Structure 1
Amino acid sequence: MNKQKILVVDDSEMNRALLIDILEEQYDVVEADNGIEAITLLSQHRMDFSLILLDIMMPEMDGFEVLTYIDKYHWNDTFAVIMISADDSPENIKRAYDLGAFDYISRPFDSTIVRRRISNTMFLYARQRHLEKIISEQFCEQEKNNKLMISILSHIVEFRNGESGLHVLHVNTITELLLRHLVQRTDRYPLSKSDIILISTASSLHDIGKISISDEILNKPGRLTAEEFEVIKTHSAIGAKMLLELPVEQQKLPLVKVASEICRWHHERYDGNGYPDGLKGDEIPIAAQVVALADVYDALTSERCYKKAYSHREALKMILDGQCGVFNPILLQCLQEIADTLENELKDTAFGQETKYIQDVRKKIDYDRLFSHNAHTSLSREEWNLQLLYIDSLTDVYNRRYYDEHFRDTEDTEGVVVIDVDNFKDINDYYGHARGDIVLQNIAKTILSCVRKTDTVIRYGGDEFVVIFYSIPADAFKNKLERIRMLVNRLVIDEYPEIQVSISVGGAHGLGKVKEMFNIADHMMYQAKNTKNQVFIQFLEKETNDI
């Protein structure tokens, strides 16, 4: 059985030798003769250690400085620290405990006491961590449910704004990254790990007030007039008011309090030129400051109905040059320092978290829908197994059979889309059918990431997909189709990055029979294929539009 590993940090070789003599039979002991060496060692191998014995009086970096560093970066989440010193004054002992030390042993050492104190510390620390893990698991389950409800609510706002839920996920991610780096960089904002989680979760509601803004203004493709911009600006105060009008007992909850601050003040600016209250500097709560920066960064790097997306580097330059308002200088430094991490994390969010989350949820809903159908028709188990044939085995979306039997003759849809992969035969011929299958799987995931759970994605033919929409405004329909086209065009197949993918998209919008709308959408798709990588839509009450 491997021995537990202990790090002894003391500038006195004699003291280290004495402790090693006491402990080496029971533990694997490692030495460091100063604080800097200890920090260097822990930065590389801290997960190996169960306990640190740390002297106070050392040159260059004393024990309290080491303990402060350990506490700041939460390294003591994985090991306990016992301070060792000849100075057992109450002030030193209190300071050690305040900085996160688990115990304090005074010199000269008594071997029996040292062994017993270390053994007790190991036991109590392990027990404490076990209890914390149980509580943490319970908290995480509740937190997961809270995040789910907030995500649903925020996705409603995103849908009204003609976008997928990526903006919410991005703001969550950027907020958390900035906060984690902020607490490492400065003690000015004493935020705990639970504070960071709370603020990141609450950031999902930053634009909840937009639910009150009319579609004509919210989804206007061109520049807003001065009057329209004044209307848009009201969303921050309205969002805060909505939260503060919850029942009194809910208003007092930390999540509601932080979310209302973020809602109201995430458009304030550090120089006082923001809205709605013109707050300046740290009059703006740090949660709102961080979400403001996250919101601006993602708005710049995302495509909107009124603008193209800027690159990561362009967005950073615009923010740092003050083109998007004035932000806290410390937060701007944090943004610069996490720039590379940020860019990679957001790529993972876009094609990882959201796609996987939405796909998993949609799969459950899809099967629930099939199960509901079985309940009404009292299908046998064997017949139920046959129903699974409605799912395309390659892409995990519905197949042509499901469309033919359940959708073709329905009349309550508002949008039908036909999507065809450009030059798919060339991809199969040049790269082989196995790689072609991977391309289709990635395209299906991308389409799923752009639609709602109530919409239906179907693999209609070899490289052709159909999407059925219900109750979707014309502008949102148009934006979603363009977003699908754009994301597929940007798609990078991890295994084969050299493969370039694009699609031609045809859409029909307006209440009507699916069969008739399909024919119109199919015709629009073939028009789009004349130039490829295009979206063509026919609104049933309007002429065909080239987006």
Structure 2
Amino acid sequence: MKEKSTILIVDDSELNRTVLADILGDEYNFIEAENGARAIELLRTHTDIDLILLDMVMPEMNGFDVLIAMNNNRQIEDIPVVMISAENGIEHIERAYDLGVTDYISRPFDCMVVRRRVVNALILAAKQKRLMRLAAEQIYEKEKISDLMINIFSHIVEFRNGESGPHVLHIRTITEVLLNRLVQKTDRYSLTQEDIQLISSASALHDIGKVSIPDEIINKPGKLTKEEFEIMKSHTTVGADILHDLPFSNEEPLLKTAYEIARWHHERYDGRGYPDGLTGEEIPIAAQVVSVADVYDALTSVRCYKSAYDHETALRMIVNGECGTFNPLLLECLLDASLQIRERLLEANEGYTHSTARTQQLSTEMLLKQATPQVGRSIQALETERIKTEFFAKQSCGIQFDYDTATRTISVTDHTDTLPFTSRLYDAADTEKFTIFSKDDLNRLENALSATTRDAPDVSMPITLRFPEVGWEHEYMLAARALWSSDAKPRYLGAVGQFREPQTDIMLPEMQLPDSGAVTGRQLADSMQSMSRIFDVVRLVDPQRGELLQLNTDGTFSDRVLPCFPMWNHGKRCSRCISRRCMEEKTRMSKLELTDECAYQLISRYLVVDGRECVLELGSRLSDSVWVTSGGRQFRLDASHGEDFYLDPVTGAYGRRYLEDQQPELEKAEALAVIDIDNLKEINDEYGHLAGDAVLRHVANVILSRVNIADTLVRYGGDEFVLLLSHIPPEKFRSILERIRGAVYTTEIPQYENIHPTVSIGGVYQAHPLVEAIRRADKLMYWAKQKRNDVQT
């Protein structure tokens, strides 16, 4: 059965609204508004309106005011509007069309004319949307064939060259990331998304001229002689000649760009490159970007004449001018996007292929140049719907979340029969009526989403859903994806997401414990006795003092006090005690706790027992092994692994896997710092890797000795740490980092008294999401490294 279209009738006369509804009949659903202000309110709360019949002269807001508001919210490009008015002056009609109406009907009107024009407007809108889908599919197929041919040819070149297969993909990936960052920083080069796609595709042909270089030179394992290097340099001009002599027009955009890249990707900004010694902006921007990408990939890849440098060393060499001089703006882009480049290349190495998302951006850009305003908005709507569909396809059915920034409306749809309703729309701008989130949760969510980028759109954080009208609330983990426009300068549009139970959560049975957490000792003693039949561990602790508390049979506290940490085979207080965090935040948390013998699923709940603050711990012993999710894959974790699963074996700090798996929990950190050892490579070269490992342990120990037990240290890369700080006032943040920096240099290393390492530190305070905080701190750290032994915040 065909679904009815919904029509909004806006007219201050109830009689006129009734007449229009009667004329159109039962084929449509109708919503009525008695004035313009009510119409705008309905547009914010109803997402299913297909067409608007709009009167011109009304109280509060007239028809023109409604059209202006719809233009400001870009709704006019989404919803066709037919204006019906007794005002027949040419200036009124002309203004209505200028403001975006689809049609204008003068009163008095013929009933058949109204019906026919409404049908035509709805059909036109549907056909335009279908046209956009077809155009996007055709362009995708065309581009896919072109990409395939380019990749086949470029891989032939790389196969003969002896370089790694992913080299071409690396160059395209890095080029695309740098260009997208470049257009965000400046409009100097007037690059569109079509240009970025074109340059990225053409970059695959940068070394096409190497087909002419003899095998004994191109694959020589040692340093080239002067004569051999001159022959190698000729691949730039040979490649340009090959492309120039193809039987196609030299003005073909792809060939023209490929020619510029092939000939000039070894030019340098100071004129010391080859083959033509171009300087500065004489070098086409496409060639400039590919030259940076080519140098980075050459440094970080194994070649027949060299081993690979790590990511940080490669960046340092490029920024310091060890590989020639580059456009300073591109160096800034390289540092800005360093984390994204590293992540995108990891994806590429796992078989990442060119996605249809970029094709959708290209088709949008091309069609927008020639389409009507209605078409442009329709394409954006299609792109948004594609992202939503892709996101929800990767999630199991649950409680879905949809947020629109233009109207600040939040839609919640329940597919689990958990909530008191199936679907509901909320107005986040109405602070009195918006109660589904707390004000703090809403602010955290909006700040985290607005801090995302089009290339890094995902956010994950705990959110409490609340329905005070029925006395219901529950804490969920919200996994959300920000929606960005496909413009050259992307605009943040909103988000989609899903509320899920926390991954490590175990649902408590009904134990008669009040939600407030306030109980008497007698009540708790009875509940703990019942819980002991279900859980393997049931105990009461004071995590602030590190004490195990015991209740007498009458519910009073026993005078016998023991330490709480031996339970987990720890000789000292736990480094990441969730019970301590529960007490600090007065909440309930869950995690996987590992001992030498087995693994426990642990729940900690804050309680006030007869006025005394404490935490109830409930633990369920898992089987000999348990499946855990890490990096998108599942691992079977034996109990014998213990914390080795997450700990870095050299430093004792957490490894990067911990940062990735515990990201939702770590998002709560107040501050974050990236700490890099300045001279580790020199120490390894001069004293050996045992000395280098001692330096790594020394730096980790110094950091851990100067932060709180609730803080987290992660070894992020070869010589790089990420420090996450909880509950730290902003005025103390920099001083802590300065103390760490000074202590690393002044504290002696046993057996290596002659070694004095230094660190460079970049820190950010209250930056979210975590990936954005790391990116910003990473950039600050690189600026600190220009001075060495420095702190930048």
Q: What range describes the TM-score normalised by the shorter chain of this pair?
A: 0.3 to 0.5
Q: TM-score, structure 1 length as denominator?
A: 0.47
Q: TM-score, structure 2 length as denominator?
A: 0.34
Larger Rg: 2
More helix, by proportion: 1
More strand, by proportion: 2
Pick 1 or 2: higher relative contact order, CA cutoff 8 A, min separation 6: 1
